[in-house]
Amino acid sequence: MKKITLLLAVLCAAFALPPVQAQSAPAASAAAPADDALFRALGGQPGIDRITGDFVPRLVADPRTSEFFKKTNQAHLKEMLSQQFCVVAGGPCVYTGVPMKLAHQDMDISKGDFNALVEVLQAAMDAQHVPFATQNQLLARLAPMHRDIVNVH
């Protein structure tokens, strides 16, 4: 319970940040941090690839998120998530996918759907033995994307 409470506190704090500017060209949704400490804590690119390799099948299998991902090219999704996680973690990557707002504009995603995805990501990171503090750092950096993903209020 303490883990969920701390996670919610991190997400709430991240949601209070000023809005992220919409992007007109394929680029990362968040600028890469100045240092790569989180990237290294996640195990570099191999660690991020393990997380996304675990995460995507969980998204497809989870009844709360499966509807959004069952027709998705899973290999492409893993690649885009790996790029995005690498960028927000301060790694040497470039996100080549479409902006989050454009990618999710016709998907009718609610806060509950977004929260379910976060829970699935957390389960994937747990399964990959990512330390709790490292999980929270990544989630805090990803959380502002909710503004571009959640579109049902």
- What pLDDT, in 10s, does the model give residues 51-103? 999 999 999 999 999 999 888 999 999 999 999 999 999 999 999 998 888 88
In this prediction, residue 33 carries a pLDDT of: 52
How far out from the chain centre does Cα 9 lie?
17
Rounded-to-integer distance, Cα 132 and Cα 123, Å: 11
In this prediction, residue 34 carries a pLDDT of: 62
Query: Which of 25, 24, 51, 50 is closest to 142 using CA atoms?
Result: 51
Rounded-to-integer distance, Cα 130 and Cα 117, Å: 17
For CA atoms 78, 80, 83, 86, the dihedral sign is negative
Cα-atom radius of gyration of the chain, to the nearest Å? 14
Q: What share of the chain is helix, strand, coil (3-state, %, to 5)?
A: 65, 0, 35
Domain spans, the chain: 25-149
Report helix, strand or coil for 39: helix
Mean pLDDT value across residues 99-127: 91
In this prediction, residue 51 carries a pLDDT of: 98
User: Sorting pLDDT into bands at 50, 70 and 90, what band is 3?
Assistant: very low
CATH domain 25-149 topology: Globin-like (1.10.490)
